Amino acid sequence: MKRDRKRIVIALGGNAIKLPRQKGTYEEQRTSIQAASLHILEFIKRGFEVVITHGNGPQVGNLLVQQEAAASQLPPQPMDICNAMTQGQLGYVLQQALMNELKSLNLNFNVVTMITQVLVDRKDPAFAHPGKPVGPFYDRRTKEKLESERGYKIKQVLPGGETPFRRVVPSPDPIRILEVSALKKVVDAGMIAIAAGGGGVPVVLNERGEFEGIEGVIDKDLAGEKLAEAVAADFFVILTDVPRVKLGFGTPEEREVERLDIRQAKKYLQEGQFLAGSMAPKVLACIRFIEYGGEEAIITSLDRAWLALQNQEGTHIVP
């Protein structure tokens, strides 16, 4: 079905919500989200159909610290529950901020947050080699206690200090969003959807053919790409803390890149030009979006998002 308006998926980084050096109070995060909503509003005002996803790394990390601190009084919740909780938490604040901004402009849009499950493969290699650090830092005694009592996988992630250890969990590749039919109906009805927050809740099919949550974290940009596929987006925009992707990062040959076709992007990714766990999954997500049939993928900073769509900023990945 041909649409009158272009559809765009915007992936908002979790660090745009909890800024560096902030404590992560509700007031701080609300202020950051209000600022982010003004940038998102530019696309809505100009007639785009907007779907939003967001990171939750700092927020779910704080929640895991709270879980550990209260463990002597209340049973800690599993990671899939914590992921769902922060999806609801951040979705609510972002949803409310957008509703208020839209109201101030007399724009009549419904804004909907969907708690999203993302299917992963139980045999994904990530389960055999967990490597995504989450939650608080531990000393050796606590590390050994948690490994013994809860079966946590804990690795040393800092070179020294009293608390160099941190829990690591699998980060499996997303296969598909389970709520795709409902999500498409919401977006096709003209609503602004917030979905797949924090990469979505990773779920697997168990031996009985039932869905169940697992301990793990899905990269939010790779999940955002699956969201873009699910809603048949024209554009996929990843908003991070840098205005453009860099080649030769950290070397004398370091340079920003404005445009890559998919062949170039794949070549640089295979060469290891992009940092694993940082820029590499963003570039991979953009490559997958173009391969799916998307018109254009963009990586840029939040404050340059609208300029990037006008080819004045950002790194553009194209067929």
Just list the catalytic residues: 14-15, 132, 220, 282
Closest CA to 319 of 247, 236, 260: 260
Q: Are strands 117-119 and 201-205 parallel, antiparallel or unpaired?
A: parallel
Backbone angles phi, psi at 53, to 5 degrees: -130, 165
Annotation: CATH topology of 7-121+173-318? Carbamate kinase (3.40.1160)
pLDDT band at 1 (very low <50, low <70, confident <90, very high): low
DSSP letter at 67 equals H
Domain boundaries, the chain: 7-121+173-318, 130-169
Closest CA to 240 of 184, 315, 187, 186: 315
Segment 236-247, tens digit of pLDDT:
999 998 899 999
Structure tokens belonging to residue 291: 């391969």
The whole-model pTM stands at 0.92
Segment 60-84, tens digit of pLDDT:
888 988 988 898 899 989 999 999 9
pLDDT above 90 for 2 = no
Is residue 165 within 8 A of residue 209, CB to CB? The reply is no
pLDDT band at 17 (very low <50, low <70, confident <90, very high): confident
Which of 64-68, 212-216, 255-259 shows the lowest mean pLDDT across its residues? 64-68
